[in-house]
Amino acid sequence: MSNDERSTILLRPLELTGAGSLRLAAEAAGDSDWPPVLLLHGGGQTRHAWAGTARRLASAGYLAIALDARGHGDSQWAPDGDYSADAMAADLACVCASLRSPPALVGASMGGLTSLLAIGEGPPDFARALVLVDIATRLEADGVTRVLDFMRAHTGGFASLDEAAAAVAAYNPHRKGPRSTAGLSKNLRLRPDGRWYWHWDPRFLDHAARSRAGEALVQQERREQAAQRVTVPTLLIRGGSSDVVSAEGARELQQLIPHAELFDVQDAGHMVAGDRNDVFSDAVIKFLRRCLPAGTGTAEHLLIR
């Protein structure tokens, strides 16, 4: 299927339910009888980050479901402000239980950590495969700080979409800018004060704050323990220029998950899918075809049990 043909694949709106009956927004592409692949974005992102990959997965015979995490995009904000790893994992468990069969999980950054914990600490049939996107058990402090600094710097919004585009370009100087700022409108919301704000709950940063050394060690130990219990086929896709996951960090993950495959995407940073989407999507599909046979036929409907 050509790029032009893939661009016509319909992304259908979908509403799912998280822990505590929290409403979660999603989009899906592909037939409901095909193997499900759940796409989980990073902190501060939305399901729209996966649009290209979702269409590629659907064209390859998979039911792609891109989910807005709680407090992000069009999903409901947590009434109690709980955006902890446990809350995210509880949402994921609810979503997976609603699907016809256990999905493959593709998680970037925050979504990857959520997937790792959910699989490592959950029942053995929780998911059928795991793709971690530029996330591992040991993270580089400077890279994490740069991400959080960018998120904190713009909680007051932007005067225009052009201003927002300039901020994104400064954060990702290696990425070629879009021809239009229209795409940013999916991740920003215009409020009555005339400013554009990222479409996520600012209280999310309360759980993404820099941890003291002792807290960070506890979090890393939890991730390591979860990784050692992962038995499903696993792929780590790392941005070759990432400042969040180092080559050493990737090797350490493979020591914890000996069967894990590693794939570096050259000329990509932490936002791998956005930097080199074709290369990224190809790697995901090739991996899935080895462990999760694709469906056949033409997608005509979408049903979630």
For position 136, what pLDDT does the model report? Answer: 96
Q: What is the pLDDT of residues 35-51, one digit of tens each?
A: 999 999 999 999 999 99
Q: Quick one: pLDDT at residue 278?
A: 96
Predicted confidence at residue 62, as pLDDT, reads: 96
Average pLDDT over residues 147-155: 91
126 pLDDT above the threshold of 50: yes
Instruction: Find all residues with CB under 8 Å of 144, minimum gap 6, and list them.
Output: 244
Among 2-11, 18-27, 261-270, whose mean pLDDT is lowest? 2-11
Type of residue found at 297: G
- Nearest CA to 232 among 136, 99, 127? 127
One DSSP character per residue, 16-64 reads EE-GGG-EEEEEEES-TTSPEEEEE--TT--GGGGHHHHHHHHHTT-EE
- pTM confidence score: 0.92
For 179-206, what is each residue's pLDDT tens digit?
A: 778 778 888 999 999 999 999 999 999 8
Task: List the beta strands (DSSP E) in 164-260.
Answer: 188-190, 196-198, 234-239
Distance of CA 289 to the CA centre of its chain: 20
- Residue 210's pLDDT is what? 47
Would you say residue 85 has pLDDT above 70? yes
